[in-house]
């Protein structure tokens, strides 16, 4: 299931902003080792390096396309192709950072305690995940795929909400102080079919990859029509797309 860096970067400002806001909530400390899990094209890894220029930083991603792009755009930094699910560092990590990636992984009840266990004594885990499953962006393709007209190996199984309730994350990263919040961004997108273009760069990628050409066209036509109804353009070539995200920053509990 390859990633397309160009499609993903079409909305680079909207996709990067939550990562910048996540980074701004990482407390002031001096991490020596940092990993960016699911670093993609490395834009945020670069910001980690700008904030902590002396730290040993590595960007990890399972997509060779994304890592090739990161390597091309940031040749002075360290990149590695690896699956977060099985990645093991050789030493404890001071900052584990992950923006818009962990919602692709299963079993958060095991994943989050494991990531917490990778931290050094005063380490910090900072995570942001899209949390828009109840909205038409995600509901519409799920309803379209649920109409009974698709191949048996229904790609609807690929559209899965893996997020748990926020309180569960607070429990899974114990013992730690936890900052948990949810933000809805009212994204102003321009051009034709902006919502379709947004989801095809992220959540719908596995579904599109599983459909043949004819089904992909039919799926695209049905979704685009419904997206236009759910998110009508404002009349000035802009469409407002509300999009919610969950943020988790867990760090060592301060003494006392
Ligand atoms: C939406 S992009 C986010 C990229 C970057 N963090 C950013 O905010 O710009 C999600 C990234 O997660 C990566 N990814 C998804 N599942 C992964 C896994 N199991 N292990 C490593 N990377 C994964 C994808 O290859 C993709 O580059």
CB-based contact 177:253 (threshold 8 Å): yes
Specify the range with the lowest mean pLDDT, choosing from 5-14, 111-120, 190-199. Answer: 5-14
Name the residue of 34, 42, 61 whose CB sits within 8 Å of the most ligand 1 atoms, as the mutation to test its pocket.
61
CB-based contact 238:190 (threshold 8 Å): yes
- The pLDDT of residue 231 is 97
CA atoms 138, 140, 145, 148: torsion sign: positive
The finding on whether 250 has its CB within 6 A of some atom of ligand 1 is no
Residue ID of nearest Cα to ligand 1 atom 13:
38
What is the domain count for the chain? Answer: 1
Buried b (16+ CB within 10 A) or exposed e, 21-39: bbbeebeeeebebbbbbbb
The whole-number average pLDDT for the span 125-140 is 96
CATH code of the domain containing 74 = 3.40.50.150
The finding on whether 35 has its CB within 6 A of some atom of ligand 1 is no
Note whether residue 256 is domain-resident: no
Specify the range with the lowest mean pLDDT, choosing from 1-15, 123-137, 141-155. Answer: 1-15
Note whether residue 123 is domain-resident: yes
**Which helix (DSSP H) or strand (DSSP E) does residue 45 occupy?**
helix 43-51
**pTM to 2 decimal places:** 0.92
Q: Which tens digit of pLDDT belongs to each residue from 4-41?
A: 666 656 677 888 999 999 999 999 999 999 999 999 99
The whole-number average pLDDT for the span 49-71 is 97
The finding on whether 99 has its CB within 6 A of some atom of ligand 1 is yes
The finding on whether 198 has its CB within 6 A of some atom of ligand 1 is no
Ligand 1 atom nearest the C-alpha of 98 is 6
Name the residue of 101, 111, 160 whose CB sits within 8 Å of the most ligand 1 atoms, as the mutation to test its pocket.
101
Note whether residue 145 is domain-resident: yes
Q: Which tens digit of pLDDT belongs to each residue from 156-177?
A: 677 888 999 999 999 999 877 8
- The pLDDT of residue 176 is 75
| Nearest CA among 202, 226, 201, 206 for reference residue 216 | 206
Domain that holds residue 29: 5-251
Note whether residue 183 is domain-resident: yes
Note whether residue 241 is domain-resident: yes
């Amino acid at each position: 299931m390859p990633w397309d860096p160009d499609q993903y970067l079409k909305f680079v400002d909207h996709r990067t902003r939550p990562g910048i806001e996540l980074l701004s909530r990482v407390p002031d400390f001096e991490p020596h080792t940092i990993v960016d899990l699911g670093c993609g094209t490395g834009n945020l890894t670069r910001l980690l390096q700008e904030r902590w220029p002396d730290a040993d930083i590595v960007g990890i991603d399972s997509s060779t396309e994304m890592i090739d792009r990161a390597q091309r755009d940031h040749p002075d930094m360290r990149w590695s192709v690896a699956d977060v699910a099985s990645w093991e560092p050789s030493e404890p990590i001071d900052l584990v950072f992950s923006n818009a990636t962990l919602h692709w992984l299963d079993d958060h009840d095991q994943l989050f305690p494991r990531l917490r266990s990778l931290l050094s004594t005063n380490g910090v885990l900072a995570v942001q995940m899209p949390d828009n499953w109840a909205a038409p962006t995600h509901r519409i393709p799920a309803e379209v795929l649920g109409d009974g007209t698709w191949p048996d190996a229904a790609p609807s199984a690929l559209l899965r909400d893996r997020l748990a309730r926020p309180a569960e994350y607070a429990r899974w990263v114990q013992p730690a102080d936890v900052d948990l919040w949810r933000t809805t961004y009212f994204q102003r997108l321009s051009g034709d079919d902006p919502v379709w273009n947004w989801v095809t760069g992220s959540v719908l990628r596995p579904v599109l990859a599983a459909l043949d050409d004819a089904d992909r066209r039919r799926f695209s036509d049905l979704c685009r029509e419904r997206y236009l109804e759910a998110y009508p353009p404002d009349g000035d070539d802009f469409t407002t797309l509300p999009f919610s995200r969950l943020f988790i920053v867990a760090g060592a509990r301060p003494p006392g």
